[in-house]
Every structure is written in structure tokens, then in C-alpha cells.
Amino acid sequence: MSQFMRASTRKKRDVMMEAALTMFMEKGYENVSVDDIIAATGSSKGTFYHYFKSKDAIISALYSKQIQFIQEWVKQPPSKVQSLEGHINRLFLDLASNIHSSPRLVRSLQALSLQNETVKTEEQQQLNVLSESLLHWLPEPRKIELLVCIYTGTVRTWCNQDDADLLSMMKNNLAWLWVGLRSSEPYAPLQVEPVPKEENKMKVAIIGGGLAGLTAAAYLSENPHVEGILFERSPQLGGRAFTYEKAGFTLNYGAHAIYGIDRHTLTNMERELGLSFSSKQVDKRKVFYAKHNQLTAAPLDAINLLRTDLLSTMQKVRFVGEITAIIANIHNLKNYATLADYLAESNADEDVKELWEHLVCSNFFITPEDARNVSGAVISEYYHNLFLSSKPVNYVLGSWAVITNQLKQKLTTSGRWEIALQEGVESLRYADRKFVLHTKNREVAFDKVIFAMPVQQVVKLLKGTAWEPFLSPYESNTATEVMVYDVGLSRVVARPFSYISDMDNKLFISDVSATDHTLVPEGGQLLQGIAYLSDRFDNEEQRKAYLEEKNLQMEALFDKHYPGWRDATAVKRVSKKAMVSSVKNIASNNLLPIRVENVPFYFCGDGCTGKGELAERAFSSARTAALSIVHEVEQALQKV
């Protein structure tokens, strides 16, 4: 394009070039002929060839004016150049002013250079000429590279902005660039913010998805520096607190009574983990004991104690004295190895002694023989807590699922925890300073492992490992087992009690739905019978006969207080041997500590040391285990 071409001629030529470029982009350079361009612009062959020698010439023409300009610029004699900086700026601004009235054309050209080799070569040639010419005046290649970058970068940015002013953009950018180019500061290595390293999170495995495993995982899920996997071998979470629906009834495998909820670990968890649930107190006035066919109020509080026929007035005074001493923590029961040892030396009447024994049976779910074998310190601590509570027995409304679902939700929403169902851990080894867990699906390495399963199963899993000998003191622990007799009735057949305990046969029936109405269909009734079981038998025959007798005693208790229950039964679940606590808390057993010397793992569950009995020990031991790990993480972070 001649420098002296008339404006109208230049416009016609630009229109042709622009139309040609648009077609090149839409159809591809190779697929557009000169005839297509002529047809699209409504011109003639004569006109086309007047401006361009060929199709390629359209492209070359687009760049030739700029190249010509650069070549003229480089030839200027130094005598005419007042300042090098001004001379270079003049070139850049002239190049910019040549194109600033055709933004669409430049934009099309830029787009086409990405797909067409001819255009790309032309563009590259123009930039080469620019670099070489600049080098002629400023023989510093790095500075020239920057100048060329500023030119191409500014043109590209201008193309993408509607209504932008190329000349002022170029002036601005050059002004900033020259600040750096003029500087005499020596070259210094580039300062770069280090790429943040992928944080090394502590990886924790929890084996067992019962109340303990879920609790530990929920606490750990709150810490952003910990991630992990909760392994559960069965298809659902909850373990023995597993809940299921049948014919409109909600059945808990293990009951959901909370003893002393206002002082219970679950209340700490409610606050610390942000859980939300309601509970309802079992009607204390409807808790009865049956002894030698006589019904009497269970001495749960002062009012019931006054009403009970279990004790004479003098005995009541004595029992109140004992309760007061327990509350004040001055009862000497805590100094006796077992309840039996204390009772042997106590000068209390037999009825008071029997009451103690029966209380322990019902709170620990054990037989009188076992109750006598519970340590004095354990009983003192348990009742110190329970007698101070204003809510001796409550039910979590809606079953354990209300708790387990929220714990699970915490893991899911943290985004750092995986729940691996039907993935039992089969073995464990130590390699490369990690604990490698093996399941049927995979092998995964962890920094820490929490065992949240019954002690007996922990011992089995660690058989043959270096840690086995340290767990042998816990191997022969016995579990607390009961017979469970759940019946869902289509109607309320009778509602004389919320709880009736047969002191002679050591079994009880709870009218669960009298407290937690959410578990039954409209008008229904859910009764749970539980018999404490002895585990001392000479042979299998004897054990079977014993269980059969318990079954008959249980049905007789139902017949006596809930006549018509047999006909109204809609759902029935009888479990002749359900494990209530994985370690019976008697003096001859050893609860598993949360940390065992020489063993690098953490342990939690209802067979571990912790506050309370049953589910509370699962919660409290899990909370302690998780918080110890959190503490370790915090200490490690402080060192970093």
C-alpha cells in the first residue's frame, strides 16, 4: 500500500482486505478463492487485481506498510536523532497510528495468524524486521525483546477492547517500560513468591464405624490439618447403635437410653460438635421394681425413695446417707476392690445391700454375681455422677440415628474424610514410617490409626504383629451380654410403667414408646425386654437350658403386665446374646487404655477406659483419642 494512496482508495482496499480476512477465518484460507472475494465485495476482477497481485498479496499487503515504515526509520541519520528513546518511541507511535483506524482488520489478522501459516510467517517477518532495526540503534537484545513485547502486547490488548485508544495505550506502556530500561541497577535474580506446597495433612485411619469411630472422626474432621478414612466392615454405620425400620417401627439394635444426660459426654459433644437433638426423660414415677410379686417405686430420687416399700424408714435414712456420701465423694465404697468386699464389711441391712446390688445390675446390665465383682471405685464414680444428675434416664428422641447421621454429616461436609463401608480392615503393617492398612480393595498408608472396635476384635486383627504381646492382658476380657426381646405392638395394650424391673429374675421391660413416641406408627407401642445373662456354665446344654428359662421368664413378665401383647405383636426381634458392652466392667477384666505402652495406636470404644458406662464410654474414649491427635497436630505445627 503506497504511503500516498488517496483516502477513498485506501478505504476500498481496506474493505476488500477485511472481507477477504473474514472469509479466510470462516472457511479457511485455502478454501477461499479470488472469485469468492470479488463476489462477496460486489467488485470486479479488474478492481481486485488493481489492488492485489494475488490472494497471498492481500496478506503481504497488510504487513508491507509497517515493514516499509520500519525500514525508513532505521535509515535515519544519527544527526537527525535527538534522543534514542524519543526516536524509538516515534517509531512505535507511527506504527500504532498506521493501524489504529482499522481495529477490526487487525483483530481478524491476529486471529488468522493463529490458524494460517502464510499469515503467521508474514507477522513473524514483520517482528523480525522490527527487532533487527531496533538492534541497530540499541544493541542490547534483552531490551529489544522487551520493546517488541510491549508493541505486540499493546496491539493485542487494544484489539480486545472496544473503543480503546491505541496511541495513548502505547504511550503509557512505553513510559512505564522506559523506567525499567533506563535503570542502572544491576541485574538481580527474580523474586518469586514460592509456590505454596501441598500441605502435608496428617492422615488418620479409623477402624470401626460405631458410636466410637464416628465420634473420633467427627472431632478430627473439624481440624483442617487432618484427613482420613473411616473403615466399616458392615454395609451401614452405627455398629451396635444401628437403627432400622420395620413395619413402621424404628428399632435400635442397642437401646438409646442416656443415663444422667445433663452430665453426659453426649452433652459436651452437643456443644463442641454443634450437634442438635432433643431428649425426653423417662417418667420416674412410672419406674417400678417387682420383688416377690410386690410392686414398688424404684428409688431413683427423693420422692420415689419415700414411696418405695423396698426399704423400711430406718433403711431409707441409711440409704440416703449412702447417697449423700457418694455425692460428696466421701463414701468408703471407693476404697474397696469390689462391691462384694464392701458389702461383706458393711453393717447395713440386707435390703440396703440388695438395693445396691440391684442398682449396679440395672445400670451395668449385669447379673448379681457380676455386680458384686464391680470395683468399688467404678461404682462410686458412676453414682457420684448419676446422683448429681437431675435427669437419671432420658431417651434421645428419634433413636441413635439422630446422632449418628449428624456425626456422619460432619465427615461428609468436611471434604477431608472418606467413609469406606463394607471395607473391613484385614491386616496392618508398618513400612516407611507409615501404617499400611490392607482391605479387600486396597492398601493405604496412614500416619495414625485409631481402633474403634471391640477389644476382642482388635486383638484378633493384631495377631502375629509385633504389637500382639502388649495386648495380651486384654485378650481374655469378657463381654456383657444380654437377651433382648423387642416387640412392636399395633396398639397400646397397657401402659402401667415406663420401666418395670423384675428383681427376682433380673430382667426388665421398658415401654420405650411411652418416652419416645417417634419410634412407633400411630397408636403403636414398642416394648423392650432385657435379661441380664450369666456367662458361667459347665456345658452347652446348661447354657441352652438357662437361655430357654430366661425366655420363658421374659414372656411371663410380658403376660403379667402387658396382657394381649401376643395378639397385638406386629414386629418381634429376639436376640439371645446381644453384646451390650464389649468389656464387662468387673474387677477381673481390664478395660483397654486409649494408649497402650509400646503400641503406637489409639483405642476407643465401650471396652476402653473413659467416663461412664456403655455408649458413654464409647463417646468419651473416642473424644479423648481424637483430641490427643489434634493436640499432636497442633504441637507439630508449632514446631514448623
Give residues in contact with ligand FAD (CB under 6 A): 207-213, 231-234, 239-241, 254-257, 424-425, 452-454, 457, 461, 482, 484, 578-581, 605-606, 614-616, 618
Grid coordinates representing 496 are 402401667
Closest contact distance (angstroms) between CB of 510 and ligand FAD is 9
User: Between the CA of residue 415 and those of 122, 288, 408, 447, 617, what are the distances in Å?
Assistant: 53, 49, 12, 19, 28
Strand bridging mode 425-431 / 294-297: unpaired
- Name the CA radius of gyration of the chain, rounded: 43
- In this complex, which beta carbon is closest to ligand FAD, that of residue 208 or of residue 228? 208
Closest contact distance (angstroms) between CB of 368 and ligand FAD is 19
- In this complex, which beta carbon is closest to ligand FAD, that of residue 154 or of residue 477? 477
- In this complex, which beta carbon is closest to ligand FAD, that of residue 109 or of residue 614? 614
Closest contact distance (angstroms) between CB of 373 and ligand FAD is 20
- In this complex, which beta carbon is closest to ligand FAD, that of residue 217 or of residue 461? 461
- In this complex, which beta carbon is closest to ligand FAD, that of residue 112 or of residue 378? 378
User: Between the CA of residue 485 and those of 251, 534, 553, what are the distances in Å?
Assistant: 11, 17, 11
Grid coordinates representing 495 are 401402659
Grid coordinates representing 178 are 522506559
Spell out the residues 6+ positions from residue 318 whose beta carbon is closer than 8 angstroms to its own: 311, 348, 349, 352
Closest contact distance (angstroms) between CB of 639 and ligand FAD is 33
Q: Is the CB of residue 137 less than 8 Å from the CB of residue 88?
A: yes
Closest contact distance (angstroms) between CB of 243 and ligand FAD is 11
What does 447-474 look like in DSSP terms, one character per residue?
Answer: SEEEE-S-HHHHHHHTTTSTTHHHHGGG
- In this complex, which beta carbon is closest to ligand FAD, that of residue 241 or of residue 374? 241
Name the strand (E) or helix (H) holding 434. strand 434-439
Grid coordinates representing 66 are 509497517
- In this complex, which beta carbon is closest to ligand FAD, that of residue 96 or of residue 359? 359
- In this complex, which beta carbon is closest to ligand FAD, that of residue 48 or of residue 259? 259
Strand bridging mode 243-246 / 287-291: unpaired
Grid coordinates representing 507 are 430382667
Look up residue 311 and give its DSSP letter: S
d(Cα 34, Cα 36) in Å, to the nearest integer? 5
Q: How many CB atoms lie within 10 A of CB 179?
A: 8
- In this complex, which beta carbon is closest to ligand FAD, that of residue 331 or of residue 584? 584
First-to-last C-alpha distance (Å) of the chain: 67
d(Cα 99, Cα 105) in Å, to the nearest integer? 9
Look up residue 300 and give its DSSP letter: S
d(Cα 315, Cα 321) in Å, to the nearest integer? 10
- In this complex, which beta carbon is closest to ligand FAD, that of residue 239 or of residue 398? 239
Count of CA atoms in the C-beta half-sphere (13 A) of 377? 4
Closest contact distance (angstroms) between CB of 395 and ligand FAD is 8
Grid coordinates representing 520 are 412407633
Grid coordinates representing 601 are 495406636
- In this complex, which beta carbon is closest to ligand FAD, that of residue 254 or of residue 488? 254
Name the strand (E) or helix (H) holding 438. strand 434-439
- In this complex, which beta carbon is closest to ligand FAD, that of residue 158 or of residue 289? 289
> ∠ CA 432-438-440 to the nearest 5 degrees?
155
Closest contact distance (angstroms) between CB of 548 and ligand FAD is 19
d(Cα 387, Cα 259) in Å, to the nearest integer? 10
Closest contact distance (angstroms) between CB of 252 and ligand FAD is 7
User: Between the CA of residue 413 and those of 400, 430, 607, what are the distances in Å?
Assistant: 20, 31, 29
Closest contact distance (angstroms) between CB of 603 and ligand FAD is 10
User: Between the CA of residue 127 and those of 103, 154, 173, 372, what are the distances in Å?
Assistant: 19, 14, 18, 98
- In this complex, which beta carbon is closest to ligand FAD, that of residue 236 or of residue 476? 236
